[in-house]
Structure 1
Amino acid sequence: MKRVVVLIVLFAVALLAVLPFTKPSNLEHEAAVRSIAMKVANQKLADVPLPDAVAEAAPETVSALGSVMAMQALDAFMRQHFKVRDYVFVTVGTVNYHGMNVPVTVGALGKVYLLTDEAKIQRIIH
């Protein structure tokens, strides 16, 4: 029984020693949020009806232009409202939404985990 407790304590100490060195960077948090936000934005753009003249002439150009504009709007939003806070063992990405800091990502062990789903991102974007 004593050996099991000692092994568990050693494992916990080893894990706590490794965690600070495996935190993902701010860019990895931004990339995770950007990928899901762009997915939601592209879905919204696909739902927008195009006038017949535009749809027949150059639908790819309009789609690409919409994606570029969405990317620029998202970049501006991220610069103003997205922050990554560095704690000893993890990093947490938050979005300032209506005056509240809402956690949207957690980074640990070299990975970024999203805490929100597409529906919540749609509400924030909308």
Structure 2
Amino acid sequence: MERYQGTIYEALGGESVLRQVVEAFYPKVQAHPLIGPLFPENIDPVVEKQILFLTQFFGGPAVYSELYGHPMMRARHLPFPITPKHADAWLSCMEAAMQEVNIDPELSQVIIQRLRGPAYHFVNQP
């Protein structure tokens, strides 16, 4: 990330580009045979919360916490069976979404590395 200044959120281009990525991401998630069934049919509220969460997670305004309190993401994911294959699928969908939105490949890899920790932290099944 040496060639980028500031936060991942800023390097990405702020809310408008992050929204494009998340909006490209969820159709991929919904179509994925492994992780799609874990998500509700009405994905719109999930999209909006994900935009707010990733904004904060990548160094932008802390709007998620202001609206919903501490993210407590592991606790929020505990009701769902999540294996390492689920984490891999989620990350793969995110990588494909960033490619679709033409995010710089170097920045995309920085983002995937940043998301890898939380994705595997949510694993609760072998």
Q: Same fold (TM over 0.5)?
A: no
For the pair shown, which has the larger CA radius of gyration, 1 or 2? 1
Query: TM-score under structure 2 normalisation?
Result: 0.32
Please state which structure has a larger fraction of its residues in strand.
1
TM-score by length of 1: 0.32
